[in-house]
Structure 1
Amino acid sequence: MEFIDKVIGDENFVLVGSSFGGYIARYLLKEKFDRVNGLLLIYPLIFPQLNKANIDKDLEYITHKNNDTKMRINQRIKKEVKKAMENTDFSFLEKITKEGQKISTNIDNLKTPFEKPTLILTGRQDKEVGYKDTFNILNNYPRATFCVLDKAGHNLQIEQEKIFNQLVREWIYRLEEVYK
């Protein structure tokens, strides 16, 4: 919280979080509710303990039929994941994961629904955090576009790039409509 107050000051802001970052974004929303203008959750972790996630482990990943598309997606995942892994501070990540598991408040128990532009994207074939648990938080977001993308796992922004980009653009347009 100190970081947000120091860097952003009294300004309002939007929150974007993917995976565990989606869990953190929802925590920040609960803590800074009146200052958040919009929310984007990309394959959000719903429970801080991964073993609680409702995941279709037997669901077969549906691949793209075109070999060029498969190759491009695999190359991009390797490139981006490798770069991200090289820049990851694993000790910090382990620390915030443990701290996240200690959060005693129910981050999804909001006083009132978050009635601002929200986009929640999940992958039908996500074997890391799944998609089913996300249904449990939808009532908190009456202005949400919620999408479970087929042929997408825990890299849906790469696996379904065109749809991802279009949905994010539409979310940004909704933000602009409200905050012009």
Structure 2
Amino acid sequence: MVTQPEAYTVVKGEGLPIVIAHGMGVDHRSLMMLDDAFPAGTQRIYVDLPGYGRTPALSGIGGLPELAEWFMHTVNELVGDHQRFALLGNSMGGALVRDTLSREPKRVAGLALIAPVVDPVMSHRRLAEHVIADANPQLTQSLPQDKVIDFITMGVNQSFDAWRRYQRYILPGTKLCDREANARLSKRYWLDGDPEQRMGTYTGPTLIVTGQQDQIVGNEDQKALLPHYPNAVYKIIDPSGHNIHIDQPDAVKSLLAEWSKKLLNS
């Protein structure tokens, strides 16, 4: 079992634990802008995955199967072996939380997925066309290209407000990314088995949020998950790219608030 490294976490609130996993290349801060969506009675545990933020990289090959095993172990360390908990995952984090759910479905109070990776193999994905909805050449032409590229390719909202959100919540994590570990992960980017095939059906409160213009993971593969989640709320946000919560934070927060209420009432 993968028992190292110890996860760096930020914990907000008290109550039902919600373990939150970010995507590739960023850290826990990328999702903290959503924290005020969660009601009292929830404890949000934001995790830096290995090689990102303040959690050291996995030793050895450090692929997605090893990362999934580490995440499952870390969840148990954080909440206790028998404690119920909920899961929220964004992008790659969506694949990790689905894998954990498939191994411990009776303990999981609910699942939320924001632009989740469904098929880790990029060539297998059904992607959307990336169309900028709110072009802002005044902004993008004034910024260093190395900072602008991801902002442009991941989102469709180029407003000054969206840039400020990106600058505050996304950029700090990109600077702490372990590039060598990230490259090793990219070379072994698959899960050991399909989570939904392992699990079958999960009837807990489920939220799946996708972007209409997401060219990284699309919105069709996520829709194909729905037979396994009969109580899921599935929402395509338009306009929105892969960074849905940067493009459309209010819409994502509203959906998370409703999901959280269901957690507390389930």
Note the 1:136-147 alignment, pairs <5 A: 136-147=224-235
- Provide the identity percentage: 26
Q: Could you tell me how far 1:84 is from its partner in structure 2?
A: 1.7
Q: Does 1:30 align with 2:112?
A: no
Q: In 1, are the aligned partners of 2:215 and 2:242 still within 8 Å (CA)?
A: yes
Aligned counterpart for 1:17 among listed residues 84, 89, 92? 89
Q: Does 1:154 align with 2:262?
A: no
Question: Residue 123 of structure 2 aligns with which residue?
Answer: 51
Judging changes above 3 Å, is the alpha-carbon distance between structure 1 residues 32 and 98 closer, same or farther for their aligned structure 2 residues?
A: farther
Q: Does 1:166 align with 2:254?
A: yes
Q: In 2, are the aligned partners of 1:63 and 1:151 still within 8 Å (CA)?
A: no
Q: Which amino acid in structure 2 is aligned with residue 52 of structure 1?
A: H
Q: What is the TM-score normalised by the length of structure 2?
A: 0.60
Q: What is the TM-score normalised by the length of structure 1?
A: 0.86
Q: The residue matched to 1:85 in structure 2 has which SS?
A: helix
Question: Residue 7 of structure 1 aligns with which residue?
Answer: 78
Judging changes above 3 Å, is the alpha-carbon distance between structure 1 residues 111 and 27 closer, same or farther for their aligned structure 2 residues?
A: closer
Q: In 1, are the aligned partners of 2:240 and 2:248 still within 8 Å (CA)?
A: yes
Q: Which amino acid in structure 2 is aligned with residue 73 of structure 1?
A: A
Q: Could you tell me how far 1:126 is from its partner in structure 2?
A: 0.9
Question: Residue 172 of structure 2 aligns with which residue?
Answer: 83
How many pairs does the alignment contain?
175
| CA RMSD, 1 decimal | 2.3
Q: Deviations over 1:3-62 (max 9, x none)?
A: 2333322111111100011011111111111111100100001111122111123x5232
Unaligned stretches of 5+ residues in structure 1: none
In 2: Cα distance, 1:44 partner to 1:157 partner: 13
In 2: Cα distance, 1:91 partner to 1:15 partner: 28
Q: The residue matched to 2:166 in structure 1 has which SS?
A: helix
Question: Residue 132 of structure 2 aligns with which residue?
Answer: 61
Q: Give the structure with the larger helix fraction.
A: 1
